[in-house]
Structure formats: C-alpha cells, structure tokens
Amino acid sequence: MIKKIILSISLLLSLVSFAQEGTSSPYSFYGIGDVRFKGTVENRSMGGLSVMPDSIHLNVMNPATYSSLKLTTYALGGNVSVNKLSSDSQNEKAKRTTLDYLAVGLPLKKLGIGFGLIPYSSVGYNVSNSSTDGTGFRTDNYYRGDGGLNKVFFGFGYQVTKKLSIGADAQYNFGKINTKSISMQYASDGNQIQYGTREVNISEARGVNFNMGLSYHSKLYKNTSIFSSMTYSPQANLNLSNGRNLALIQTFSGNTEIVVGDVIDIPVDNTILKLPSKFTFGIGIGDSNKWIVGSEITHQGTSSFGNRFNDINNVSYKNATRFVIGGYYIPNYKSYNNYFNKIVFRGGFRYENTGLIINDQSIKDSAITLGLGMPLKGTFSNVNLGFEFGNRGTTTAGLVKENYMNFSIGLSLNDQWFIKRKYN
C-alpha cells in the first residue's frame, strides 16, 4: 500500500514542473488564458455533465461524489485538439496535444478522498498582422504567448445519508504566463526603416480557492432514480507578480529575433485578479446501470474579472452562463459473452456565453460531444474516448472565429486498498 501511495505522489510531483502549450486560441491572451479543463473524459463526452455519483469513476467537478467510490480510482486524461482559425481575410490551422488531468480517489467507508493535478488554463497563441499607411510604409506586428495556470487540489466527500452526500476541496493555483509583442517597420521597397521594438510581459500567479458540493439521489420507480447536484466556489484572489521589459530588435525571422543594446526593465504594478464565483445546479433521471439523461446550468460572476495588466482598453467582462445537456446508455452491463453490450455510449451538448467581450462582441462557445467507455476485461477499469466538435468567437469587428475538434482519451483504473487481510 505504501508503495502505491508513493507512486501516486511521485506521479503528481513529476507534473508540477511540466509546462505545456495547451491551446492555440488567440482569446487565451485575455485573463488567465483559455480555461481548458471541463471535467474528465467521461464528463466532457456528455457535454460536461457531472450530476451523477459513480462508484468506479472519479468526478472531480463535485467533491461530494467522492463518497460514492467503492474502489481506489486513478484517473488520467489527455487531449488532441485541431483548431481552424478564421478571420475576414485568412485561415490558419493549429494542433495541440496536452495532458488534461491526473487524480486519485480513495474510498474510506462513508468518506471519500480525492487529490490530483489539473493543468487548468493555457496561454498559447502565435498571430501577426500588417498595416500600410498612405505613403507605403508597412508595419508588421507579431504576438506570441505561452504558459498557463495549474491547480493542485485535495478534497473529501462524506455520505450523510444513503441519499445525500456533501463535500469540499481546496485548490492551490500556480503558474507562469509569458507574452511578447514585436513591431517592425518597412519602406515601400521592402527595406527595414529602423530597429523594431519588442515588449515582453511576464506574470507569475499564486492563489487558493475552494469548492463545495452536494449530491443527492432518490428512487422514483423500480430501477429509475432522480439525481441532483450543486456546487459552489466563492470568489477568490489570484496574486500576480508582474514584470515587463523592452528591447530594440535588429532583425526578426520566424520565432527568432536579434536584440540590439540593453534590455530595459520597465516598472509595472503587481495585480490581483478576482477569480469569479461559480454556482452549478444539475438534475438527471435514469437507471445508473442502464441509462441516464441530465442537464446542468452554471453561473459565473465574471463581471468582476480582469486582465493581468490594466492597460487593455477594448475588453470588458460580464457574468458568464453555461448550459449543458447529456447522458449515457449501456446496452447490458451484466453481459458476459458480448463485449459490445458492456460499452458505455455517451453524448451531449454544451452552450456557453463566456463573459468575455472584445470590441463590443460577446464571445460565445458551443459544442456537440460524443464518447465511448470501453471496459477492460476482468476488471472494473476502463478506457474512455471522447470527441468534441465546436466553435467559438466571431469574425465580426476584426475578431477570430475558431472551429475546433478535440479527441480525448482517459484511463479510469481501479484497485482495492485498505482491505484487512484474513490470513497473514
């Protein structure tokens, strides 16, 4: 048992220093980046639905569900994203492969414990534009960004009654975000007029927030039950240590620039971002061994949100709302001679008003999701596949529309710990 605990902790610690460019969205420039984590592969395949307690899957969206675990559960997931970016004048494609989460759940009779690491948000963009004045002079601007925010969490769920569970977890947020902008000027004959300029902004983030949850289920008729859940995260502070420097650029090609002279550090204020409060309510109905359909609505107080540096004028925030509907179907989970009958078929739909407003345009995000849960023979463990087809943003007002396709794979591995031996 001790070896298993050490292995789990070692896996978590090995990821603390793991940096990944997990997005290609230009919208990741704003706030803390593109919030990527929308649940485990099982949740994401149902549009993000997390209303159901589960005995062999870890639901990190609602800590109250930890009390439903019957086996020690390891949850690991990754994602491949293909993104098509479209503006008024051009189209580009980008591809990213990322690790999405690593978590462990421990059942202790009526108490369940969960802990893990989530690469929560990512900054990752590489865009450029050109403008020409009336005299033929051309200015080329390049914008680059990378980094993001990670979460380490530890929580518990407790079964108050056979129908009701409560839970809470604490989350420590940390990460580093780097952004760079370069401007170069050229004459009408293509020759560079003067040295270009480069501005680099760096933010190191630290902060703690909490999440509380309720999970309730009750039988309606024979094998049909009703499920409901609530989670609430109060507003929290994210402390940012900011830095900025300027330099002259002799030449710039691709991602490489030649600096002329000294790099000048510019004093900037440290900032505090208000991580928005979040409230989610969900309800579902069905037979957990056969089928379930449910819906959730989430409200986030993002109107109090902001950007890392208080010098962006074309951006504002309003409260965000997300609506989810989804579910799953299992032909026959007791089947012994037909593997197809034991596969879990999942599907869902997600619509979100992100709360981000750029150039007076509200940025919206919607997606259709599909998924499969494929059991591993002779165990309660399973491999989960998820597919997501969606779009975000608009080409209006000089903005970018994203059409994306995500392919996710997750492992839910189960084992028995803390079992008293009858014989030594």
Total-model pTM = 0.88
Give me the pLDDT at residue 236, please. 94
Look up residue 166 and give its two tokens. Answer: 């409560």
According to DSSP, the residues that pair with 112 across neighbouring strands are: 107, 157
- In the block, tokens 């309660």 appear at 380
Give me the pLDDT at residue 286, please. 95
Look up residue 72 and give its two tokens. Answer: 């020690």
Give me the pLDDT at residue 19, please. 43
| Rounded distance between C-alpha atoms, residue 391 and residue 84, angstroms | 9
Q: Give me the tens of pLDDT residue by residue for the chain, a chain 424 residues long.
A: 444 444 444 454 444 444 455 677 888 888 888 888 889 999 999 999 999 888 889 999 999 999 999 999 999 998 899 999 888 878 888 888 888 899 999 999 899 999 999 988 888 888 888 888 777 788 888 888 888 899 999 999 999 999 999 999 999 999 999 999 999 888 877 788 888 899 999 999 999 999 999 999 999 888 899 999 999 999 999 999 999 999 999 888 777 888 888 999 999 889 898 899 999 999 999 998 999 999 999 999 998 887 777 667 788 899 999 999 999 999 998 888 888 999 999 999 999 999 999 999 999 999 999 999 999 887 888 999 999 999 999 999 888 999 999 999 999 988 765 545 444 4
| Rounded distance between C-alpha atoms, residue 182 and residue 77, angstroms | 36
Task: List, for residues 53-78, the tens digit of each pLDDT value.
Answer: 888 899 999 999 999 999 999 999 98
